[in-house]
């Protein structure tokens, strides 16, 4: 099951966020109070997230893996008719699973970059961007429910909308080049897109790392650490001491 493409599961996760917020369960370590189906959702989110992290272990030596990407001017952006546009790329902390402005303050520009991208590059990167954006959409509701990193509903909805709009553009780019659904079942389509994404991830990240290093060699203050499995993570400086 590919969670990142399952809108039903995404709706359930967003509903679970309100439960976690209401009872402070995640911060209190009381997830045992959740129903079996909710525990299963959290488990699958973790599997999806760590699968993405592990697939990009080599690239993580040179820079962060998690970012959201959306047009700078969404009101005038047409997903089907654009050649070259300015996009905003926002880095995420791989410990908290939140975008840096959610940790530093919504007005902070650390880890926030405006890049001019062309349609050809975006189309090549679209399968990977879909996997990444879908995964972030799943981890955001749970990560944002942590008390210590509580954010307002307005700020949460803004991030949610950015991810949702990003998915619309990504799906449009994929539909232009690969009409998989015309001749494959949904399960085969999901597996195909996942395989394409993993083949594209290395090149996509290397190109983005080069762009970001030219703008900000410090990656918005993210610190590279090693976890217990000797895997590199890029985390906000406030979490570095936990590794």
C-alpha–C-alpha distance, residues 228 and 243, integer Å = 8
Q: What pLDDT, on the 0 to 100 scale, is given for residue 73?
A: 92
Q: What pLDDT, on the 0 to 100 scale, is given for residue 7?
A: 66
Which pairs count as long-range contacts for 155-161, CB under 8 Å and 24+ apart, including other chains? 155/102, 155/106, 158/106, 159/68, 159/99, 159/102, 160/14
Q: What pLDDT, on the 0 to 100 scale, is given for residue 80?
A: 85
Q: What pLDDT, on the 0 to 100 scale, is given for residue 212?
A: 93
C-alpha–C-alpha distance, residues 31 and 58, integer Å = 33
In contact, 93 and 235? CB cutoff 8 Å: yes
Which region holds residue 118: left if phi is over 0, alpha if psi is between -120 and 50, else beta?
beta
Q: What pLDDT, on the 0 to 100 scale, is given for residue 82?
A: 92
Rg over alpha carbons for the chain, rounded to the nearest Å, is 18
The pTM score is: 0.81
Q: What pLDDT, on the 0 to 100 scale, is given for residue 162?
A: 94
| 148 alpha-carbon distance from chain centroid | 21
- Ranges of residues in the chain whose predicted pLDDT is under 50: 1-5, 25-29, 178-200
Q: What pLDDT, on the 0 to 100 scale, is given for residue 133?
A: 92
Q: What pLDDT, on the 0 to 100 scale, is given for residue 51?
A: 85
Got the DSSP string for 168-228?
HHHHHHHHHH--GGGTS-HHHHHHHHHHHHHHHHHHHHHHHHHHHHHH-TTGGG-EEEE-T
Closest to 140 (Cα-Cα) out of 45, 8, 44: 45
C-alpha–C-alpha distance, residues 87 and 116, integer Å = 6
Q: What pLDDT, on the 0 to 100 scale, is given for residue 241?
A: 93
Closest to 49 (Cα-Cα) out of 166, 124, 132: 132
Residue located via tokens 């994404």: 197
CA distances from residue 44 to 30, 78, 106, 133, 213 in whole angstroms, order as listed: 18, 34, 29, 16, 33
Q: Where are the alpha helices (DSSP H) in 115-182?
A: 119-143, 153-177
- In the chain, the number of structural domains is 1
- What range defines the domain where residue 220 resides? 3-242
């Amino acid at each position: 099951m590919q969670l990142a493409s399952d809108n039903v599961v995404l709706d359930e996760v967003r509903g679970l966020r309100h439960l976690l917020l209401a009872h402070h369960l995640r911060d209190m370590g009381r997830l045992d109070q959740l129903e079996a189906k909710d525990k299963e959702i959290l488990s699958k989110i973790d599997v999806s997230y760590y699968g993405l992290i592990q697939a990009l272990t080599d690239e993580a030596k040179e820079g962060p893996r998690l970012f959201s990407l959306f047009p700078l001017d969404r009101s005038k952006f047409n997903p089907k008719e654009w050649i070259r546009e300015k996009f905003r790329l926002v880095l995420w902390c791989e410990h908290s699973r939140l975008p840096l402005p959610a940790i530093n303050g919504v007005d902070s520009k650390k880890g926030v970059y405006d890049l001019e991208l062309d349609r050809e590059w975006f189309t090549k990167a679209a399968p990977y961007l879909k996997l990444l954006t879908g995964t972030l959409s799943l981890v955001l509701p749970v990560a944002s429910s942590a008390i210590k990193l509580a954010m307002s509903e307005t700020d949460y909805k803004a991030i949610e909308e950015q991810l949702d709009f990003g998915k619309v553009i990504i799906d449009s780019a994929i539909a232009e080049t690969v009409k998989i659904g015309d001749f494959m079942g949904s399960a085969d389509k999901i597996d195909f897109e996942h395989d394409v994404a993993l083949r594209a991830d290395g090149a996509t990240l290397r190109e983005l790392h080069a762009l970001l290093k030219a703008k900000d060699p410090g990656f918005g203050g993210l610190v590279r650490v090693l976890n217990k499995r000797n895997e590199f993570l890029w985390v906000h400086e406030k979490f570095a001491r936990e590794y």
